[in-house]
Amino acid sequence: MVAVTVNFRDEAFALLKKYADEKGLTPSELLRRTMLDHLEDEEDIREAEAILKEDTDEPLSHEEFWRRAGA
């Protein structure tokens, strides 16, 4: 496992800690989950943009839509 250090101003860390406490998480776990969610969202956006570039204006079958969506 790799450790990463992030520096916060006291006020920003207090806000982070308060939010993490409300969610029942440590600040580290909140940051880890938030970053991973963001990276997954970015990957989904890139995949959607690639599919849009491939668009031929031809309708897709239900099966083809879900195949391309990865489901």
Percent of the chain past pLDDT 70, that is, above it, reads 96
Q: Is 4 contained in some domain?
A: no
Grade residue 71 by pLDDT with cuts at 50, 70 and 90: low
pLDDT of residue 57: 73
pLDDT digits (tens, 9 = 90+) for 30-57: 999 999 999 999 999 999 898 888 766 7
Q: Give the C-alpha separation, 39 to 33, whole Å.
A: 10
The share of the chain scoring above pLDDT 90, in percent, equals 66
3-state SS assignment for residue 3: coil
Structural domains of the chain, count: 1
| Residue 50 forms part of a structural domain | yes
Per the structure, the complete domain to which residue 15 belongs is given by: 10-69
Distances (CA, A) of 16 to 5, 28, 34, 46: 15, 10, 12, 29
What's the whole-number average pLDDT of the chain?
A: 92
Distance CA 26, CA 16 (A): 9
In a domain, 15, yes or no: yes
Domain annotation covers residue 22: yes
